[in-house]
Copies of this chain bind each other. A is one copy, B any other.
Amino acid sequence: MAKANPARICPVAAFQKMISGKYKLRIVWDLKDGPRRYGEIRSGLLRGTEGSAEITPRVLSRELKALTQSGLIDRKDFGEVPPKVEYRLTRKGKSFVPVVAAIRDWGDRHLTETATLVDAAE
């Protein structure tokens, strides 16, 4: 705890900041099975997104960059000519997967359909 900061930052707040954006969590989840190319990630994100407008490169690019900066994923650029780039989880990213799993798990049980009010009765 060599953190003599005036106001310790809340881990939850930091988390929210880190995964802010519609796709970050899903990207991490997608990468849990191994490295994926830019296009693969893009296609993968289309499934499961109801109305699903195509995710624009600008947005995806941004998310990937942010995730890279957060240290969750790693960008591997294979030489040149037809561009090929792979993204994969870093150690930190892998350690994060269980958390996403917990989120998915909970979401599966309490969200995704009827939910919202069902067991709020208590």
Identify the A interface with B (CB < 8 A): 2-3, 6-16, 18-19, 22, 25-26, 29, 48-50, 52, 69-72, 74, 90-92, 95-96, 98-100, 102-113, 115-120, 122
Q: Please indicate the chain B residues that have their CB under 8 angstroms from the CB of A104 in the complex.
A: 11-12, 15
Contact A103 B50 (CB under 8 A): no
Q: Please indicate the chain B residues that have their CB under 8 angstroms from the CB of A117 in the complex.
A: 69, 71
Shortest CB-to-CB span from A76 to chain B, Å, is 12
Contact A15 B107 (CB under 8 A): yes
Q: Please indicate the chain B residues that have their CB under 8 angstroms from the CB of A112 in the complex.
A: 3, 8-11, 14
Q: Please indicate the chain B residues that have their CB under 8 angstroms from the CB of A96 in the complex.
A: 106, 110
Most buried by B among A8, A16, A117: A16
Q: Please indicate the chain B residues that have their CB under 8 angstroms from the CB of A3 in the complex.
A: 112-113
**Alpha-carbon distance between A55 and B74 when the two chains are bound, in angstroms:** 36
Q: Which 6 A-B pairs have the closest CB atoms?
A: A11-B107, A71-B120, A14-B111, A10-B48, A91-B122, A7-B50
Contact B110 A106 (CB under 8 A): no
**Alpha-carbon distance between A2 and B103 when the two chains are bound, in angstroms:** 17
**Alpha-carbon distance between A120 and B69 when the two chains are bound, in angstroms:** 9
